[in-house]
Structure 1
């Protein structure tokens, strides 16, 4: 069975970059009829917050990316300790005491000599007495995984055949000096224990994947299928990382972006397939294929989400907004007519109330000086509401007869005077929704 996972750290809010990873993993599982796991990588007790964990779940629920089970790494620390002991027994785990300053000096020296800036494994040369002395002077050290310095190869689901020379990579720290278990080993243990078959994540994890493949092998595990999607940039190719704070999913939702508009965009962005607006996750899953994605950085522009949102809303039935329409005070007998007019003229749901305000309270007339006398005469000829779908025609016919105006010279000044807008819905529809007689 296909099993995927989304493993965010609850140290901040989800943004569009996180969503890409979550969506890809969700769609792979959904298309295959498999399982999608939400795993909170919360081993950092200082930075992990319950408010972020709660918001992650709210964001995924809003998008419809429902999980089959939820896991927390903070509840699995004993399991990681067992794996660490196994690595020690196999001679693949060693303690090191260098300070950040000492490591930085080593890297600079290596770079000056034209060597790759990787950890030199000095800790492996310490005798038992020297280790005891370091422990006495500096306390517990970090625990590093000893890589086999050979090529690590795998076929990536997006990037194709990859090969990384482990000699060009530092032995990764798996446990910090304070005892905190890091993602690199926790993820390996979790993916194996939870039966994860496919892992899709950002291309910034390629080196992590190489080291994790070796950790899996050392623990006797089989590696899942890995795929690394491209990273997002801004619309001009600029780094998106500085703007991610403004692209939190909760903020996009608050700004009126529709879930399916966002998902439709993200499911095709960076692929060879055109972006198509889908109405359901089933549709998205049916058309999803990792083979269509490439390695080039992918430009993301938040402004592209609003035309999609508008198109999505234009197809929605009244039932999808009935609560909001009732809340703003639209009478039940006008709700269907109101929504048919409003939905074709809004970008987000936030625009709905403005249309009812116009129909209920009237607009600020937009009248040119040369049309003021004409509009005043026309308004005098308009009876009090309620109006019907025929009111606009009967009224403009009467005004035409009385004033001799016709065509654009007749209709445009009256549209602008009634709605305060130069363009918009059919005036026959507008008239039957007006709750009071327009006035200058």
Structure 2
């Protein structure tokens, strides 16, 4: 059975970059009838916040990406300790005492000599007496996994055949000096024990994947099938990482982006398939194919979300938006006609407030000086309400006969005078909804 996972750290809100990873893993699980695990990476007690755990769940739930079970890494520390001890007994785990400054100096020296900045394994040669002295001076050391210095190879679901020389990679730190278990160890233990079969994550994790494959095998497990998606850039190819804080799921939600608009874009972005608005998550599952994605950096433009959101709204019935229409203050007897009139003219659902305010309170007229006399004459010919779908046609015909105006010169000044807007729904539909019509002379 296919088992995938999404493993966010609860140190902030999830953003579009996180979502891409979550969505791909979710779709793979659902397409095969497998299991999707939400795994909270909360081994850092100082940075992890429960409010972010709740926010992650809320955002995924809003998107319709429902998990099969939740795991907390903070509740599995004993399992990581056992794995660490197993690696020690195998001679694959060793304690190091270099300070960050000392490690930085080593890296700079290696670079100056034209060598890759790889940890030199100096700690392996320390006698026990020296280790005791360093512990007394500096406290507990950090622990590294000893890589077998051979080529690590796998066939990536997106990148194809990958081969990395482990000799060109530093032995990864798995436990810090303060005892905190780092993601690399926790992820390996969890993926192995939870039976994870497929892992999709960003291409910035390729080197991590190489080291984790060795670790999984050292612990007697079978590595999952890995796929590394491209990283997102801005619309001009600029780095997006500094802006991800403003592209959180909840911020996009607050700006009116519809869930299916966001999911439809992210399910195809960076693939050879065109972006197509889907009506449900189930439709995304049916059309998903990880092999269609490429390795090139993928441009993301948040502006693309709003035309898709507008299309989502255009397909919604009154029942689907009734709570929001009620909240705008639209009377029940006018709700249906109101929604039919405005839904093709809004980009986000929050725009219904402005349209109802226009219909119920009127709008500040926009009248060009050259049109002032014409508008005053036309308004004098406007019949008393109530108005119906025929009122606009009859009125403008009478105005045309009286003034000689026609076409855009006739209709545009009247639209702007009545609604304060140059664009909007058909005025034959708007006029019956206008509750306040004042003389515009």
Normalised to the residue count of structure 1, the TM-score between the two structures is 0.98
Alignment match, 2:215? 215
Q: Deviations over 1:203-227 (max 9, x none)?
A: 0000100000011111000111000
Alignment match, 2:279? 279
Deviation at 1:439, TM superposition (A): 2.4
Do residues 428 (structure 1) and 412 (structure 2) align?
A: no
Q: Give the match's secondary structure for 1:205.
A: helix
The 2-side partners of 1:404 and 1:118 are apart by: 84
Q: Give the match's secondary structure for 2:26.
A: helix
Unaligned runs of 5+ in 1: none
Unaligned runs of 5+ in 2: none
Moved over 6 A (4+): none
The 2-side partners of 1:245 and 1:308 are apart by: 22
Q: Deviations over 1:71-92 (max 9, x none)?
A: 1100000011111111111111
Alignment match, 1:128? 128
How many equivalent residue pairs? 440
CA contact under 8 A between 1:371 and 1:413: conserved in structure 2?
yes
Deviation at 1:381, TM superposition (A): 2.4
The 2-side partners of 1:170 and 1:268 are apart by: 35
Deviation at 1:368, TM superposition (A): 2.4
Bigger drift between 50-59 and 414-423 goes to 414-423
Deviation at 1:228, TM superposition (A): 0.3
Deviation at 1:262, TM superposition (A): 0.7
The 2-side partners of 1:392 and 1:177 are apart by: 78
Deviation at 1:67, TM superposition (A): 0.5
CA contact under 8 A between 1:231 and 1:298: conserved in structure 2?
yes
Q: Give the match's secondary structure for 1:386.
A: coil
- CA RMSD, Structure 1 to Structure 2 (Å): 1.2
Bigger drift between 348-357 and 174-183 goes to 348-357
Q: Give the match's secondary structure for 1:116.
A: coil
CA contact under 8 A between 1:80 and 1:189: conserved in structure 2?
yes
The 1-side partners of 2:89 and 2:48 are apart by: 31
Deviation at 1:305, TM superposition (A): 1.1
Bigger drift between 329-338 and 197-206 goes to 329-338
CA gap of 1:381–1:132, structure 2 versus 1, over 3 A, is same
The 2-side partners of 1:179 and 1:133 are apart by: 19
Alignment match, 1:297? 297
The 2-side partners of 1:385 and 1:37 are apart by: 60
CA contact under 8 A between 1:272 and 1:292: conserved in structure 2?
yes
Normalised to the residue count of structure 2, the TM-score between the two structures is 0.97
Alignment match, 1:164? 164
Alignment match, 1:116? 116
Alignment match, 1:315? 315
The 2-side partners of 1:35 and 1:438 are apart by: 62
Q: Give the match's secondary structure for 1:359.
A: helix
Q: Give the match's secondary structure for 1:46.
A: coil
CA gap of 1:114–1:404, structure 2 versus 1, over 3 A, is closer
Deviation at 1:408, TM superposition (A): 3.2
Deviation at 1:403, TM superposition (A): 3.5
Alignment match, 1:385? 385
Q: Deviations over 1:175-208 (max 9, x none)?
A: 0000000000100111111111100000000010
Q: Give the match's secondary structure for 1:223.
A: coil
Deviation at 1:244, TM superposition (A): 1.1
Q: Give the match's secondary structure for 1:400.
A: helix
Alignment match, 1:97? 97
CA contact under 8 A between 1:386 and 1:432: conserved in structure 2?
yes
The 2-side partners of 1:369 and 1:247 are apart by: 43
Q: Deviations over 1:18-58 (max 9, x none)?
A: 11100100111111111111011000000111111111111
The 2-side partners of 1:220 and 1:184 are apart by: 16
Alignment match, 2:350? 350
Q: Deviations over 1:255-279 (max 9, x none)?
A: 1111111111111111111111111
Deviation at 1:343, TM superposition (A): 0.9
Deviation at 1:406, TM superposition (A): 3.4
Bigger drift between 385-394 and 336-345 goes to 385-394
The 2-side partners of 1:78 and 1:89 are apart by: 17
Alignment match, 1:332? 332
Do residues 394 (structure 1) and 394 (structure 2) align?
A: yes
CA contact under 8 A between 1:384 and 1:436: conserved in structure 2?
no
Do residues 32 (structure 1) and 19 (structure 2) align?
A: no
Bigger drift between 327-336 and 70-79 goes to 327-336
Alignment match, 2:254? 254
Q: Give the match's secondary structure for 1:199.
A: strand
